[in-house]
Each structure stands twice: as structure tokens, then as C-alpha cells.
Structure 1
Amino acid sequence: MRVAITGGTGFVGRHLAERLDSTETVVVSRRTGVPIDDVDALAAAFAGCDVVAHCAGINRELGDQTFEHVHVEGTRAVVEAARRAGVTRIVMVSFLRARPDCGSAYHETKWAAEELVRHSGIDHTILKSGMIYGPGDHMVNHVTRAVRTLPMFATVGFRERTVRPIPVEDAIDVLVAAIEGRIPEQTVAVMGAEEFTLGEAVRRIARVAGRRPVFFPAPVWTIRALAQLTEWTMVVPLVAKAQARMLDEGVSEPAPFAPELPLGIRPSRAFSDERIRAALPVGRFGLDDLRIMQWRPGLRRRTEVKQETVADAIE
């Protein structure tokens, strides 16, 4: 079975590519010279493929890489290219709480992308996924670097929401099952085996990282303000506005309703010290994380790499 992976150099796409047979896998991303909105280039990349794993997505807008452009126009192009290339199945990675008319461009464009796939006429599986973590993620990575940099850490709101983190190994197991057609439902919720508060997740990460910051609850509006500030000032923000909305809602149940995965395919690995440790990054936040430092020659290439990572990343 030949599989094309959009967003194939991003977090989820990269891990999926590593799992699949490299001789039967086509990695598609801006870094490989195939823009997500170029139907002709996508169709050429998809030629001879049986399945497209649509993993491309962003969690913040950067220049012309807007939610509308990447999620909606990109998915429209993927669907049309898949038709032209004779692809028989699309597997799409979406977000657990993607839905219409909720006031969040991220959620709404992810939902619009789902609808394009649902009405494509091509056999498909839509994976409404919660937070995925592992080496190179945006969850353990940012929390670790934050607690290594700052003596305090703010939790979101005075009534904490819950999360069900998914180890990337489990997420890839689910993707492979969907690619192989082993998931009977066309839309399913993908959630981790454990449910706990965001504060508990952060405390576990901090403990494994060897840090004991002072935790305090902060009003949701301050987290949203922090998100806007760090989107303006950081190459990869400490927290993006879309992520602030996710944390405010919680990431432990689908919206709208979608059935959970069948037993045997459902994520089962715990949010353990071992898996957290495997995802810990090196270092802390520093000057090269600030966009204002882009002008410095010694930091310019590192900044460009981080921006490319943002453009390719899946939440």
C-alpha cells in the first residue's frame, strides 16, 4: 500500500513517516517543495498512492499561512488532487473539539476541512484528536522550557479543565489502523487513556524535568492576553491563541459528539514519567526565541528553522 503524507515533516507526519515503509511512502510538505494549495503539484505527488494521510495543519497564523488558507483551502486542494490521482482513501487528522460557529477560527476551519472530506465522495476516516505529545511536540516541549526559565507557572482559569494526552506512539497506531481501513466509523474521537487536570499534567512534567515552580490560577483573559503577546514577540509562542482556547475548554471530550475508537485500537499508554522524559527538550527559553532577534546573523537560520517547523506542525 502506497501512502502520501501531507504535513509529512511536521510533528505527527514525521512520526508516521518513520513508522511506514519508506519505499512506499511519499512525504508532502512545503519543505519537500509541494505547497498545500497547489493542486497540480499535490496530484503529481499522490500519483500511484492508495491513501492520503492528511496531517497538515497549524496552531497559529504566520504571514500567508492562515487557518483559512492551510486548513480549508489546503484540504480543498488535497481532496481535488486525490480525485485526480485516483486515491481511494483519505485519513484526516483533525482536532477533538473542531466545530462550527464557536468564535475560534482554528476550530471553525478545522471543522470546515472535515466537512470537505466528508462530502468528497472518497472513502475516509476523520480522526478528531486531542493533545498529542512526544519528542518534538508543542506540549511537553513548551511546558518544560517554561518551568526551566520561570519560577512560577499559571494554570488556566479558576476551575481547571481536564485533558487526555495521547502518546505519539498511540496516535501513530491509530493512524496506521485508519490507513489500513480497520476503523469502521468515518469520524472518531481519539483521546488518551488517562484524564486529569491541566495542572496535574504540568506538575508531572515539571517533576520529571527536575523543577518545582510555584503554581497559581490565572483568569482566562490573562492567558489569552499572554497568547497574543507571545504570538507577537516569539518565533514559536509560549502559548498560541488557539491553544489558549483549547485549554480554556478542556481537551477531554469531543464536540460535537463522535464515538470513541474500538477497543484494541484505542490509545492505552499512560502519561508516564518514562514517556514524559523521552519528550523532554534540551535547554530553556532564551533570546533566540524572540522575533526581535531575527536580525542577528548568528540566530537568523535557527529562527528560519523554527518558523518552518511552525508552518509544518500539527497541533
Structure 2
Amino acid sequence: MAQFEIAKDRIITVFGGSGFLGRYVVRALAQRGWRVRVASRRPDLAFHLQPLGRVGQIHAVQANLRYPASVSAAMRGSEAVVNLVGILAEQGRQNFEAVHLFGSRAVARAAQDHGIKTLVQMSAIGADPQSASDYARTKGKAEMAVREAIPEATVMRPSILFGPEDDFFNRFAALARMSPVLPLIAGGTTRFQPAFVGDVAEAVARVIEGVGMSGSTYELGGPDIRTFKDLLTYICAVTGRKRLLLPLSSSLAYYPAMVSEVANGLAMGALPSAFQLTRDQLKLLESDNVVSPAAQASNLTLQGLGIQPQSIESIVPTYLYRFRKSGQFDKNRQIA
């Protein structure tokens, strides 16, 4: 049980620690004995993290990436920093430039001021300063900004993440429950390499502990590559729903996406996630989201960090059962 002993002089600041990936990263770090300082715009929304460590081991503080002073204050006395903050769609002042680029630059510069060289920047496969997608473009620029301030920083680019609270399998399972038709955007041929959120969190913790090569960019994907159509077909099989999969080109999906953006804006972000789609996400769906041959050749992957990635078959059915007609009592609940 030595791994659960708290080393009082090891403090790490995690920005975005209250989110989907954040809760797994916080737990992985707490299990290694780190005192985790969770920096969040709304610390009151991070109370669910307390049971992941011992009393006093996990502490939430207020910090807003738009205000560098608060960012600097949040990492005072820290030995390492993890930046997990990111958004999939813009809402008001929470836009890609502000959150991804300005926010990441603020974190990196504050770390530089505090003399912190151990920094993990969470990015995404497809991040590219020249991308047509605003999401991917700002993620790519954020990587450059972080490396400019902290050359030793480690960048992690996961494919889509899956886990009990994910926004992919849950979203389309919810849509399949309500709609007789599921759209195959871009024809459904886009390839993905879904990674289990727990594996990605473990990768972050190992890098913080000194495993791997600092200053490198890791691309994190699961054991299998699936097309968008494959994933929707799998979701329907697991949830016991027979749905029509309708191929839809990006150009045809453009106007529904625009309507969705306007409706979500009028609803102040309250539109159910199953019906949220943006034009920028359409651009992302036009490109494959898999680990590159270069990353594989350089062993900059989950396997390179000594992690055997878990498959969607071993995890996804454990939380999608609630979308079946009879829920946990469905006769096919063990389907994988």
C-alpha cells in the first residue's frame, strides 16, 4: 500500500482536473502519492474528486485561463503541471482561441516563471497549426506555444476517448434511442482508434513520474482501428437497437450543423448532447483520427509507455446497457 502514502512535498497542479479525463488523471496521480491541486473556474464543481484520494490529498482552487495571475497562483509550490483544458464546441467567451491557445500559453509561461519543467499538455490526434478545423488548428498552435516556453514539455495526442462518462458512445447511444436513423457523416468512412480514458490517464501519470521521453509528442490510440460506420454499428448491437445508417456527405450535413449551433446558442448550451453538432466538427470528421506511422515507429504510443490498451469490447458494454430497452435486465446484457 506504499503507493497510497502521501509525500507532502510533491504537489502537482492539474488544470481541467474536474472533467471527464481529469477525474481519471487525478486518481492516477493520487494513487502515486502526489498532492493534487485541481485548478478550475468553478472549484465547487470539483467536490466529486475528493473520494479519489485521502483526506486533504486533493484540493480544488480557483483559476481561470483567461487571467494569467490566477493561473500562476494555482501552481505556486508545484513540482509538475498537467493541462487538460479543452472544449469541443465554442460557447460565448469559451472559444477555441481563448481556451486552447491563450490558456495553454498562460499555463506554460506560468510554469516557466515558477521554474517547473515537468509539464504535460493534452492535445489531440490531428492537431495542426494549418488545419482547416478551428479546433485542430488551435490545438496545434497551443502545442507550439507550450514548447516555446517549456521545451521539455510532453504533448499527448489521444484519439477519441471512451469510458463511462464519454461524449462519443453515450451521445450516439442516446441518439439511437430517440431516432430511427443515424447519420454516417462523411460517408462513415473516417477511421478512429478509440482509447480508454483510464489508459490515457495512466500514460499521463507515468510521464509525470519520469517514464518515457520528455519533450516528445505521444499519440495515444486503442488496440483497434474502426470506421465511423463500424462504431455506430457496434453501438446499435450493444444497445439492441436496429437503426438505419444513412450516409451523409459533409456538404449535406452543413446546414443541419448550422441549425444545431444556433439552437444550442439560443438554449445557452442546454441542447442535449445527442443533437449537438457543429460545422467545425464536420471538418474534423473528414480526416482519419488514428496513430501515425511516425509515432508507431518511434514508439511514442501507449505501448511505448508500457501500457497495454484496453479494447472497446471490454469496457463499453459495461456502461451502455442503460440504453437498452430493458436496461440492466435486458436478456442480451452480456453482449460485447
Question: TM bucket by the smaller chain?
Answer: 0.7 to 0.9
Q: Residues 59 and 242 of structure 1 are in contact (CA less than 8 Å); yes or no, is this contact kept in structure 2?
A: no
In structure 2, which of residues 233, 247, 253 is the aligned counterpart of residue 223 of structure 1? 253
Task: Name 2:59's counterpart in structure 1.
Answer: none
Give the alignment partner of residue 30 of structure 1, picking from 32, 41, 55.
41
- C-alpha contact (below 8 Å) 1:47/1:86 kept by paired residues: no
Displacement after TM superposition at 1:225 (Å)? 3.0
How far did 1:283 drift?
Answer: 6.6
- Structure 1 position 267, deviation (Å): 4.9
2:282 aligned residue:
244
Counterpart in the other structure of 2:331: none
SS of corresponding position for 1:123: coil
C-alpha displacement at 1:165, in angstroms?
Answer: 0.3
Give the whole-Å Cα distance in 1 for the aligned partners of 2:261 and 2:224: 30
Give the direction of change, closer, same or farther, for the CA distance of 1:279–1:130 in structure 2 (3 Å limit): same
Larger Rg: 2
TM-fit CA distance, 1:63: 0.3
The alignment yields a C-alpha RMSD, in angstroms, of 2.2
Question: Can you give the 5+ residue segments of structure 1 that lack an aligned partner in the other structure?
Answer: 285-315
Would the alpha carbon gap of residues 137 and 153 (structure 1) be closer, same or farther in structure 2, given more than 3 Å must change?
Answer: same
Matching of residue 99 in structure 1 with residue 140 in structure 2: no
Residue equivalent to 1:278 = 318
- Tell me the distance in 1 between the aligned counterparts of 2:94 and 2:256: 21
Q: Which residue of 1 aligns with 2:220?
A: 190
| Other-structure match for 1:298 | none
Q: What is the rounded CA distance, in whole Å, between the counterparts of 2:151 and 2:304 in structure 1?
A: 26
- What amino acid maps onto 1:12 in structure 2? L
Instruction: Report 1 or 2 for greater relative contact order, CA contacts < 8 Å, sequence distance ≥ 6.
Output: 1
Superposed displacement of residue 227, structure 1: 2.6
- Give the deviation of 1:243 after TM superposition: 2.8
> Is the 2:173–2:236 contact (alpha carbons within 8 Å) kept by the matching residues of 1?
yes
Partner residue in 2 for 1:132: 161
| Mean CA deviation greater in 171-180 or 13-22 | 13-22
Q: Deviations over 1:90-140 (max 9, x none)?
A: 101101101122221111110110001111135210011111111211101
Alpha-carbon distance in 1 for matches of 2:256, 2:320: 23
Task: Give 1:266 deviation, angstroms.
Answer: 4.7
Question: Is this contact kept in 1: 2:257–2:279, CA < 8 A?
Answer: yes
Q: 1:78 aligns with which of 71, 96, 107?
A: 107
Q: Deviations over 1:13-70 (max 9, x none)?
A: 1221133218600111211231112221111111121111110011111001110000
C-alpha distance 161-51 of structure 1, shift in aligned 2 (>3 A): same
TM-score after normalising by structure 2: 0.78
**Aligned length in residues:** 282
Q: Match for 2:22: what amino acid?
A: G
Aligned-partner Cα distance in 2 for 1:146–1:218: 16
Distance 1:199 1:107, change over 3 A: same
- Please give the alpha-carbon distance, in whole angstroms, between the structure 1 residues aligned to 2:262 and 2:167: 18
Which residue is 1:203 aligned to?
233
Query: For residues 243 and 183 of structure 1, do their structure 2 counterparts lie closer, same or farther at Cα, with a shift above 3 Å needed?
Result: farther
Partner Cα separation in structure 2 for residue 76 and residue 188 of structure 1 = 20
After TM superposition, list the pairs within 5 Å mapping 1:1-315 onto structure 2: 1-21=10-30, 24-32=35-43, 33-158=62-187, 160-184=189-213, 186-234=216-264, 235=270, 236=273, 237-254=275-292, 258=295, 259=298, 260-261=300-301, 262-263=303-304, 265-272=306-313, 274-280=314-320
CA deviation profile, 1:146-202 (whole Å, cap 9, x unmatched): 000101111122361211000111111111122112121511211111011111111
AA partner of residue 138 (structure 1): D
What is the alpha-carbon distance in structure 2 between the residues aligned to residue 108 and residue 148 of structure 1?
34
Residues 205, 182 of structure 1: alpha-carbon distance in 2 compared, 3 angstrom cutoff: same
Q: Say which SS state the counterpart of residue 81 (structure 1) adopts.
A: helix
In 1, Cα distance between the equivalents of 2:63 and 2:139?
21
Q: Is the alpha carbon distance of 1:26 and 1:251 closer, same or farther for their aligned partners in structure 2, counting shifts above 3 Å?
A: same
Residue 239 of structure 1: how far off its partner (Å): 2.7
2: CA distance, partners of 1:239 / 1:169: 26
State the Cα deviation string for residues 219-244 of structure 1 (Å, max 9, x = none): 12223333322222233453333332
> How far, CA to CA, are the matches of 1:172 and 1:108 in structure 2?
24
